[in-house]
């Protein structure tokens, strides 16, 4: 089974390349714990989506210490990897979003796969839940892991989450939104239509922990053409986002499952989040949920 890790983010809110910020007792990164958990669940290949200019630092840090334990490959999310009719604005400074990032891996992925963010600590149970779904006899492998909204927030600012509506384990809608605490409540602002709405603490959100089969790639290719035609007047800022495209897949009749997990999420959106994540990992190490030196065991 293959694990696709989206690690091309610029880390602008964090203030640097947050994917290689040491978090564990021996300098481990969040990515290390993600790969460790995925390997425990039976994943045997990891593909990193990165910016080409970060290739050497990734390979010389993360790559070299995990290569003895799991197959590793890389793909580059490039600004120009879009339809030829698009004229890229000179002042566009970042790639085109998570859907474009996933599409960049089309030539590296060979079967049903799991997608995660590089800077999110998803919890081991979530990988086992995804594993069981990917190994099921279902033809359609589209799913999202659902987390309680209150377990994915930070006190240090707003976060992007896909707000989920579901019924009987089937996804009804997913609304990519900005969530933040306002007077003790979670208030969301849709990134699609700017609607402002309240999110209950136990409502489920997507953290970009998703499973797909290979049909996602021709679907994204088709949707990319449509996206750039619709956004021809907003090419400086528009983003081709995977939660939005999952919503479009639903409208096209695709079934997407919502998978429950008992895992607790930890993440770093802002530099001020770092200490809390380090403390949480330290507690898990003390409980022997993880070895003190991750890759010596």
9 falls in which pLDDT band (50, 70, 90)? Answer: low
Looking at residue 13, its pLDDT comes to 47
Tell me the C-alpha distance between 37 and 34, whole Å: 5
- The structural domains of the chain, with segments of one domain joined by +, span 2-296
pLDDT at residue 235 in the model: 86
CA–CA separation, 245 and 263 (whole Å):
26
* C-alpha distance from residue 42 to each of 69, 109, 134 (Å): 12, 16, 11
Q: Are residues 221 and 76 in contact, defined by beta-carbon separation less than 8 angstroms?
A: no
Q: Looking at residue 176, what is its pLDDT?
A: 86
pLDDT in tens, 172-200: 998 989 999 999 999 999 988 899 999 99
pLDDT at 279 over 90: yes
CATH code of the domain occupying 2-296 = 3.90.550.10
pTM for the predicted model, two decimal places: 0.88
* pLDDT given for residue 19 in this prediction: 54
């Amino acid at each position: 089974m293959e694990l696709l890790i989206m690690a091309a983010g610029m880390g602008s809110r964090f203030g640097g390349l947050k994917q290689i910020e040491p978090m564990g007792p021996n300098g481990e990164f969040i990515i290390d714990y993600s790969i460790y958990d995925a390997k425990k669940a039976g994943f045997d290949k990891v593909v990193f989506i990165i910016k080409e200019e970060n290739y050497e630092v990734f390979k010389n840090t993360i790559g070299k210490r995990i290569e003895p334990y799991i197959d590793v490959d890389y793909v580059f999310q490039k600004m120009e990897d879009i339809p030829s009719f698009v004229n890229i604005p000179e002042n566009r400074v970042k790639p085109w979003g998570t859907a474009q990032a996933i599409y960049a891996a089309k030539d590296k992925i060979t079967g049903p796969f799991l997608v995660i963010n590089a800077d999110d600590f998803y919890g081991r149970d979530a990988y086992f839940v995804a594993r069981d779904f990917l190994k099921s006899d279902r033809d359609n492998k589209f799913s999202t892991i659902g987390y309680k909204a209150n377990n994915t927030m930070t006190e240090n600012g707003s976060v992007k989450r896909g707000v989920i509506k579901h019924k009987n384990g089937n996804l009804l809608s997913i609304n990519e939104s900005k969530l933040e605490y306002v007077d003790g409540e979670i208030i969301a602002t849709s990134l699609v239509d700017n609607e402002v709405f309240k999110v209950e603490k136990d409502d489920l959100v997507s953290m970009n922990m998703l499973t797909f089969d290979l049909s996602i790639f021709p679907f994204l290719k088709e949707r990319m053409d449509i996206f750039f035609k619709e956004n021809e007047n907003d090419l400086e800022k528009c983003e081709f986002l995977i939660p939005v495209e999952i919503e479009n897949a639903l409208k096209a009749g695709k079934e997407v499952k919502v998978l429950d997990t008992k895992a607790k999420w930890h993440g770093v959106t802002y530099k001020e989040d770092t200490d809390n994540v380090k403390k949480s990992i330290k507690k898990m190490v003390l409980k022997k949920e993880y070895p003190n030196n991750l890759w010596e065991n």
